Amino acid sequence: MIPNDSLDGWTPPVPRRTIARPAAAGSLLTAPLDESPANSTAAAVRRITEALARVDPNHPALSSYLEVLRSLATSLEESGQAVPARLDQIWQGDGVTGHDPATGPQNPISPPLALYDVGDGWAEGVVTLGLPYQGPPGLVHGGVSALLLDAALASANALMGTDGMTVALDIAYRRPTPLYTPLTVRAKQIRVEGRKRFVSGEIRDSGGVTVTASGVFVGR
Of 114-153, which residues contact a second copy (CB under 8 A)? 128, 130-139, 141-144, 146-151
Per-residue x/- track, 155-184, a second copy (CB under 8 A) = ----------xxxxxxxxx--x-xxxx---
Residue closer to a second copy (CB basis): 11 or 26:
11
* Contact region with a second copy (CB under 8 A), list: 17-25, 81-89, 119-127, 201-209: 81-89
Q: Contacting a second copy (CB under 8 A), which of 29, 99, 189, 201? A: 99
- Interface with a second copy in residues 21-60 (CB under 8 A): 36-38, 40-42, 44-45, 47-49, 51-57, 59
Q: Contacting a second copy (CB under 8 A), which of 29, 30, 98, 203? A: 98
Q: Are 115 and 122 in contact (CB under 8 A)?
A: no
Residue closer to a second copy (CB basis): 116 or 133:
133
Residue closer to a second copy (CB basis): 27 or 40:
40
DSSP structure string for 137-205 = TTBB-HHHHHHHHHHHHHHHHHHTT---EEEEEEEEE-S--BSSS-EEEEEEEEEEETTEEEEEEEEEE
Picking from 52, 154, 65, 58, the residue whose alpha carbon sits closest to that of residue 103 is: 154
What is the helix (H) or strand (E) element at residue 126, kind and residue range?
strand 122-127
Q: Are 102 and 114 in contact (CB under 8 A)?
A: no
Q: Contacting a second copy (CB under 8 A), which of 15, 22, 161, 219? A: 15
Q: Are 211 and 173 in contact (CB under 8 A)?
A: yes
